[in-house]
Structure 1
Amino acid sequence: MNSSSTVSAELGLRLVVPQQTVVPLVASLYYSKEDPYAIRIAFHVGLDEPVEWIFARELLAKGIEGREGLGDVVVWPSAVSAEGAADDVLNIELSSPFGQAHFEAPINEISDFLKRTHAIVPAGDETDFVDVEAELNDLIRKAQ
Structure 2
Amino acid sequence: MSTVIEQPVEARLVAAAPRMQSIPATLHYDRTDPFAVHMAFPAPATLEGVEVCWTFARDLLAAGLEGPEGSGDVRVRPYGYDRTVLEFHAPEGMAVVHVHSQDVRRFLKATDELVPVGLEHLQLDLDHDLAELMRDAI
After TM superposition, the score normalised by the length of structure 1 is: 0.85
Paired letter, 1:72 = D
Query: What's the C-alpha RMSD, in Å, of the aligned pairs?
Result: 1.8
- Tell me by how many angstroms 1:141 deviates: 4.7
- Tell me by how many angstroms 1:136 deviates: 2.4
- Tell me by how many angstroms 1:93 deviates: 0.2
In the alignment, is the contact (CA less than 8 A) between 1:25 and 1:45 conserved in 2? no
In the alignment, is the contact (CA less than 8 A) between 1:44 and 1:50 conserved in 2? yes
| Whole-Å separation in 2 of the counterparts to 1:143 and 1:13 | 43
Alignment of 1:73-112 (within 5 A): 73-79=74-80, 88-112=82-106
> Which ranges in structure 1 are unaligned for 5 or more consecutive residues?
80-86
132-141 or 9-18, which moves further after superposition? Answer: 132-141
Report what 2:24 is aligned to.
26
17-26 or 30-39, which moves further after superposition? Answer: 17-26
| Whole-Å separation in 1 of the counterparts to 2:50 and 2:137 | 30
Q: Deviations over 1:119-140 (max 9, x none)?
A: 0100000000011122223344
Alignment of 1:1-144 (within 5 A): 3-46=1-44, 49-79=50-80, 88-141=82-135
In the alignment, is the contact (CA less than 8 A) between 1:39 and 1:56 conserved in 2? yes
> Which ranges in structure 2 are unaligned for 5 or more consecutive residues?
none
Q: Deviations over 1:24-45 (max 9, x none)?
A: 1000111111110110111124
Paired letter, 1:27 = A
Task: Tell me the matched-pair count.
Answer: 135
| Whole-Å separation in 1 of the counterparts to 2:136 and 2:41 | 30
Change in Cα spacing, 1:76 to 1:142, as seen in structure 2 (3 Å) is farther
Runs of 4+ in 1 over 6 A off after TM superposition: none
Change in Cα spacing, 1:142 to 1:76, as seen in structure 2 (3 Å) is farther
Paired letter, 2:67 = G
| Whole-Å separation in 2 of the counterparts to 1:120 and 1:12 | 23
| Whole-Å separation in 2 of the counterparts to 1:77 and 1:143 | 45
| Whole-Å separation in 2 of the counterparts to 1:35 and 1:97 | 26
- Tell me by how many angstroms 1:143 deviates: 5.6
Paired letter, 2:86 = I
After TM superposition, the score normalised by the length of structure 2 is: 0.89
